[in-house]
Amino acid sequence: VWRLQRVQDEDAFVFQEMANKGHYRRVGGTRQGIYVCSPSGILLSSINSLNPDDVLEMIKSGLDKWNALPFSERQISSDFKPKVRHRWENSYPSQGMVLNLSKIDLFTDPPVQSERSDRWNI
């Protein structure tokens, strides 16, 4: 996220322009949140919330707007070939270890496999 918020690369500019129209509606500062947008950079909906019901409502709203878009707006431009500087996420050592995290809400302590949330954060 830091890179997308601050780096002066073409793909970051697309994100910054879209995010500046989002829930914070201002240039600069944090753009943390969840965004639903088209490949062409049209902001459909956004939110910065930990409330899963609010996030789900925002995603559904974005999906409704997505379904209303013409097909041409659902495609990335064929001439969009962003020029980016080095991206560290593309620099994993060939024999390096990559850690991934996933989380699910547990309703019991100790956890009971059959009594857990259906909401995952991967």
pLDDT of residue 67: 96
pLDDT of residue 68: 96
Full DSSP string of 16-70: HHHHTTSSS-SSSS---SEEEE-TT--EEEEE--S-HHHHHHHHHHHHHHHHHS-
- How many CB atoms sit inside 10 A of residue 64's CB? 12
Identify the segments of the chain with pLDDT beneath 70: 1, 26-29, 82, 117-122
Average confidence score pLDDT of the chain: 80
End-to-end CA distance of the chain: 16
In the block, which residue shows the tokens 């059959």?
Answer: 114
pLDDT of residue 47: 92
Q: Give 43's strand partners.
A: 37
Domain boundaries, the chain: 2-78
pLDDT of residue 28: 65
pLDDT of residue 4: 74
